[in-house]
Structure 1
Amino acid sequence: MTEQPYTDGDLRDEAARQLASLVDDHDFMGIGEQMADSEIESLLPPAEADGAEGTCWGDLDRAQFADAQRKIDDLLTSAVDLSEWAVNLGADSLQASEQQLNIGDGRARIHFAFAPDMSEADRRDFVAMIAAAVITGG
């Protein structure tokens, strides 16, 4: 096997750089194009509503749509660059979890990523253990 002139770290660094550039160089008009046919999460029908469709962003009136588009652009512009973390988590086969731990009235937040074979119960127990350690200081 031929040795490559780059390391795994070099590959991760370049992937993180490219991922970050996708957010840094986002296209305002592209935001509107991508969101038009996408359903609004909070307006999805309940799972038991067979065949019911949710409301898409494009179903909003022009002023509401434009306002949402501007706010999404603001969120993308102010997003923290977590590209390196995201690439490293994926390279390590970890899956981001919706579980999080807020500390000090929003002054800090811990997000979690777990191995795919870790059970939901073990994930909850781990987060609870970390929370207990933070609360008790040890």
Structure 2
Amino acid sequence: MSNIPYTNADLRAEAADQHNYLTEDPDFMGIGEAMDDSIVTSTEDGPNLTWGDLLPDEDAFNDAQKKIRTLIVGAADVSKWAVHLGADGLEPINTNLTIKNRAGEDRVRLHFAFAPDMDEDKREAVMEVIADAIRQS
């Protein structure tokens, strides 16, 4: 028996709480500092511009900075999911399955995470089985 008075579940729960807390009120200046040298994704295939390069005007940069902070604050709390994935050694992938209604609005989005040693064919097969099951329902 261990002398440790807490469980692995306690550690995961606290990590999820802390993860969420860090996104509730992110440091505005810290966001700007991180953005300044960060490559803007849409320029990765071209000139590789940082936010500072792309938006040399301070007002335009600050506007983007505010929008990014708003996205962080408004993001869904997936802290428990993220902590459990990391603790279990699973890696999220960029592909997701989105189900839309007839008006074209997103209604359900499934995100996937796999063991790092699961090959791409098996990953695709899992996602296809789920997509097929949804289509048939």
* Equivalent in the alignment of 2:29: 29
Tell me, yes or no, if structure 1 residue 124 matches structure 2 residue 118: no
Please report how far the alpha carbon of residue 104 of structure 1 lies from its aligned counterpart in structure 2 after TM superposition.
2.8
Q: Is the 8 A contact 2:25 2:73 kept in 1?
A: no
Amino acid at match of 2:24: D
Tell me, yes or no, if structure 1 residue 63 matches structure 2 residue 59: yes
After superposition, the CA RMSD in angstroms is 1.4
d(CA) in 2 for partners of 1:82, 1:12: 13
Number of aligned residue pairs: give it: 131
Unaligned runs of 5+ in 2: none
Percent of residue pairs identical: 49
d(CA) in 2 for partners of 1:98, 1:130: 17
Given the two structures, how large is their TM-score scaled by the length of structure 2? 0.90
Q: Secondary structure of the residue that 2:110 maps to in structure 1? A: strand
* Equivalent in the alignment of 1:49: none
Structure 1 segments of 4+ aligned residues over 4 angstroms from their partners = none
**1:1-40 pair list within 5 angstroms:** 2-40=2-40
Unaligned runs of 5+ in 1: 47-52
Please report how far the alpha carbon of residue 77 of structure 1 lies from its aligned counterpart in structure 2 after TM superposition.
1.2
Please report how far the alpha carbon of residue 41 of structure 1 lies from its aligned counterpart in structure 2 after TM superposition.
0.9
Given the two structures, how large is their TM-score scaled by the length of structure 1? 0.89
d(CA) in 2 for partners of 1:107, 1:72: 24
